[in-house]
Amino acid sequence: MRFVLQRAAWDLNGLLTTLDPGAELAQRNLWWVRLVEWLRHAPLKREGVDAPQPGTRTPLPVLRLRHLLQLLDRQPEYRARMVEQIARTLADLDATLLLADFGFAQRFAFFSELGERLQRRLLPGTAETRDLAELFQLVFSEEQDAAWLDAIDTPTLEKLGTLLHESVAASRHPGAAAGWRSALLDAQLFCISQVGAAAFSAEIRTRLSAPAQALTPFRQLGPAFEEVRRRIEDPAASPADLTPALGYARALLDACRRDAQTVHEHLEEHGVSIDIVFTLEQLQSRLDRIDHLLDCLLSDRPAEAVRRLVVQFAESAEQRRSVAALLARNYSLLARKVTERSAETGEHYITRTPREYASMFWRACGGGAVTALTVFLKFLIGSLGLSAFWGGFAAGLNYAASFVAIQLAHFTLATKQPAMTAPAMAARLRDLSSDEAIEGFVDEVAHLMRTQVAGILGNVAVVLPCVLVVQLLWQAAFGEPLVSAAKARYALDSLDGLGFTPLYAAATGVLLFASSLVAGWAENWFVLHRLGSALRWNPRIVARLGEARAARWSAQLQGNISGFAGNISLGLMLGLVPAVAAFFGVNFDVRHVTLASGQLGAALGALGWELVYTPGFWLAVLGIALTGVLNVTVSFALAFRLALRSRNIRLKDRHRLNAALRRRLRRHPLGFLLPLRGRARAEPAA
């Protein structure tokens, strides 16, 4: 469509010749679309527009707009048509929808807005409309429109203002100028009513701070602007009469902004809701719109105030077309809340002293012992001959039960650590202004790497010999190993480090990261809906459990909800994702370093010690090493990237972090593997 419009609008004289103010509404509206297409895309030389001088930054649409105004000055006939066209457009189209509602959601709900944006993006618009907001979206339909509108210089603005004044004066409707003033005042009234509806809603009102819950500025906003309107419309009123009322109205706007900001403080403590955040953003944006409308009415430079408002409309038009912009804005907020929830848990997985390092190692040993049982159950489930889905579901339940048992026993699984510790580390990136802060962060990276080494060593050091011993004991008692030689050989071949193992291990790292997102989201949801308090004080629950047991269960669930959600989701994903992938014809298998080590122990017990002299054994060892590295690095990298996104870390600071890490790794490599008595610190960069 744009290409057709471009070609039709390349010839400015032809475009002005086709201008017919007496045409039907749809044709007049479509002419505005073609005119703006010419401003964007017409060739310079063909239309006689001077090319920008080297070194200047004037956008080409602004140059074409100057050329258009110059041509109208030279051609009175064209100018008369343009004046009448503007007058007819102002008379026929409703401006209040543009001034009051454009850029805002019709309903204060995130998913309603998401559906509306999808509909707007997929369904075409029409030029047959009396809604100025709908026409605005058709006319300014490209991403760069806001930039060139903002770049219009003051002389060009003054010429546009003169053209608009001529159109208002030539309007056949008496009181056209007063009508536009009334439209601006009505738009303020509509915005104030929407602000009040949002502020008085239960979801916002109950989350305001205690002093703000009186809603005093929101109650007074309407009467204050009615007084401003009365004095503006009073012909006998002087500017001095308006000043007190205007100052009071603007002070109320500031007070409303401050009170609304206290909702964020509540959300930081009690959990985030997408709909509440979306409603709050709409409320604050409408307060800003009221301010802009006041500027258009009372500013000493009304043309510049109108330009700022039109630029805001153009930016809003682009945002309302963008589903990605809506998701990205809310994703950033939720990312911060999820990472903050995960950070509280992740602090427990970082060791900083030799004693903590040893404690982590022994906890990982316990996790390896539990995983040994998981390995045997995995082989048992595989021998049942279940269908793909039910086999995957049973395997997922096995993994989930194992991970939850490890959590409740206060053991640890090494690969669960990176996705949880990355947010805890990112929480230390709030201030990177000094080299000392950078070096402190590098310390945390070293602590984390040592923790991963302790966790993986503890898991592997126990799960492999445990499985091996069980295999040997079972064979001594019953004459054959618990896991048959055929299954052991298949498991050994599947661990080949030169095959698909690295790819599967990296994909498993993605699942580990996804489970951390589920854990953070679940805790945020639990806190937001106050389920801990409900479990503690709900009358039916207290009557059924008793006060002591209800209090104990509430405390236990509040402390473990994140771990339960993360572990159960990880277990089910490890079991079901391969089955779902197979349904779509994708060959995928999970590669988890602790489970893989147990499989190697089972193979060694079934196939005998001579296995260590075969290449297949060492290729499996290589596969397990790669699995451990990729499980950790992929899950950590994804979690850390999310945490950085939530913190809005600048690219320059990221380079400083990378340089400090490389410097520490070069000077103190052992500090990333073993706990040192003296803390190795690289010298701060100059």
Q: What tens digit of pLDDT does each residue of 25-72 get? A: 899 999 999 999 898 876 655 555 555 555 557 888 998 999 899 999
User: Among 289-303, 513-527, 649-663, where is mean pLDDT lowest?
Assistant: 649-663
Q: Check residue 589 and report its DSSP letter.
A: -
Q: What is the chain's percent helix, strand, coil content, to nearest 5?
A: 80, 0, 20
Report the C-alpha gap between 523 and 528 in whole angstroms.
Answer: 8
How does pLDDT run across 143-195, given as a tens digit for each residue? 888 889 999 988 899 899 888 888 877 765 554 555 678 888 899 999 999 99
- Which residue, among 329, 392, 346, 333, has the nearest Cα to 635 in the 3D structure? 346
**Residue at token pair 């009557």:** 543
pLDDT of residue 331 exceeding 70: no
- φ, ψ of residue 131 to 5 degrees: the values are -95, 115
pLDDT of residue 526: 84
In the prediction, which pLDDT does 337 show? 58
**Percent of the chain scored above 70 by pLDDT?**
83
Judge contact between 91 and 176, C-beta under 8 A.
yes
Average pLDDT for 452-457 = 82
Q: Residues 59-105: pLDDT tens digits?
A: 889 989 998 999 999 999 999 999 899 888 888 888 888 888 888 87
Whether the pLDDT of residue 648 is over 80: the answer is no
| 94 strand-pairing partners | 131
Instruction: Give the pTM.
Output: 0.65
Domain extents in the chain: 1-92+144-172, 95-139+175-321, 351-414+431-672
Contact 201, 282 (CB under 8 A): no
Least Cα distance to 346 among 513, 510, 511, 462 occurs for 513
pLDDT of residue 623: 92
- Whose CA is closest to 382, among 459, 494, 254, 508? 494
Whether the Cβ atoms of residue 419 and residue 515 lie closer than 8 Å to each other: yes
Alpha carbon distances (Å) from 50 to 10, 75, 160, 684: 16, 19, 20, 54
Three-state SS letters, 590-657: CCCHHHHHHHHHHHHHHHCHHHHHCHHHHHHHHHHHHHHHHHHHHHHHHHHHHHHHHHCCCHHHHHHH
Sign of CA dihedral 243, 244, 248, 254: positive
Residue 303 makes CB contacts below 8 A (sequence gap 6+) with 154, 157, 158, 160, 161
CATH tag, 351-414+431-672: 1.20.1080
Amino acid at 270: H
Average pLDDT, the chain: 81
Q: What is the DSSP string of 41-85?
A: H--HHHHTPPPPPTT----HHHHHHHHHHHHHHH-HHHHHHHHHH
pLDDT attached to residue 655: 77
CA angle 521, 568, 422 (to 5 degrees): 50
pLDDT of residue 175: 47
Q: What sign results for the dihedral spanned by CA atoms 188, 190, 191, 193?
A: positive
Q: What is the pLDDT of residue 8?
A: 39
Q: At what angle do helices 76-92 and 176-200 cross, to 10 degrees?
A: 40
Cα 523 to chain centroid distance, Å, stands at 18
pLDDT at 679: 46
- As to burial, measured by CB atoms within 10 angstroms (0-12 exposed, 13-18 middle, 19+ buried), residue 650 is exposed
The per-residue pLDDT for range 484-511, each reduced to its tens digit, is 888 889 888 889 888 889 999 999 988 9
